[in-house]
Amino acid sequence: MIRFPNILLAFFCLTLLSSCDNFEKKFYDHIDQGQINAIKNGADTFDLATITDFEWDSVLLVRGNESVPEHKEFIEETLNNKKSTIDWEDRAYGGKIDPTLTRKTKDLEINRDRFYFLTPDKKIVEKEIKSGIYCHKPEFHLELCLLDTTNKREWLSKQECRFILKTNVRKVGEGMVILFSRCRTELSPDNMKYFDEEK
């Protein structure tokens, strides 16, 4: 019987696990290549469905930050499209449960973003990635659909995730990549300008 040192076994397991789900790598490969194409051609496209290996109908992106975790109590309200009548602190620290918030999750740690995919059978598939603001260059920004002149819709349909991809700089690996949903958005891809215009 062949025996592996513990460190080799751990490395093997991590490699195996990471190769099973490379959503983050695929996502950022599209962001990076999309920026190159957008600099060259003025715009690119990115269909989020091309990097998922499961069926889904809609998606929600929750952005983390660099200093404090995002509490699950707030995320669950967004996931359920419902404001709880029970204060978030009572739910987080007082053990109170809101039975109307049926979709559950966990806190989002710092420097992480999380996609929530709603499947046709109404289950949630979570895909977590390193922060697209604090940990990846170029940053990415997702333009959400407008409900009216001031309010945005958090969930995007699968069709709305065939993004128009543009960038605000001409130098690869810097600035921001903007993903424009296929709906009316606050910013328009037609009005995008470069911040680092060539001299």
The residues spanned by each domain of the chain are: 24-66+130-199
The pLDDT score that the predictor gives to residue 50 is 97
**Summary mean pLDDT of the chain:** 89
- pLDDT at residue 15 tops 50: no
Percent of residues, the chain, with pLDDT higher than 90: 81
The pLDDT score that the predictor gives to residue 128 is 98
The pLDDT score that the predictor gives to residue 191 is 82
Q: What is the mean pLDDT of residues 154-173?
A: 96
Label residue 193 by pLDDT band (50, 70, 90): confident
The pLDDT score that the predictor gives to residue 14 is 44
- pLDDT at residue 160 tops 70: yes
The pLDDT score that the predictor gives to residue 119 is 98
The pLDDT score that the predictor gives to residue 142 is 97
- pLDDT at residue 4 tops 90: no
- pLDDT at residue 16 tops 90: no
Q: What is the mean pLDDT of residues 130-134?
A: 95
As a dihedral over the C-alpha atoms of residue 88, residue 90, residue 94, residue 98, rounded to 10 degrees, the angle is -80
The pLDDT score that the predictor gives to residue 194 is 79
- HSE toward the beta carbon, residue 15, CA cutoff 13 A: 6
- pLDDT at residue 53 tops 80: yes
Q: What is the mean pLDDT of residues 158-186?
A: 96
Buried b (16+ CB within 10 A) or exposed e, 62-93: bebeeeeebebbbbbbbbeeeebeeebeebee
Instruction: With H, G, I as helix, E, B as strand and everything else as coil, classify residue 103.
Output: coil
Task: Centre a 10 Å sphere on the Cβ of residue 7 and count the other Cβ atoms it contains.
Answer: 8
Q: What is the mean pLDDT of residues 24-37?
A: 98
Please give the C-alpha separations between residue 84 and each of 97, 151, 169, 196, in angstroms, as whole numbers.
10, 19, 41, 44
The pLDDT score that the predictor gives to residue 195 is 74
- Quick one: tokens of 111? 């420097």
Please report where in the chains the tokens 């490699």 appear, as a residue: 15
- Continuous segment of H or E residues that includes residue 180: strand 176-180
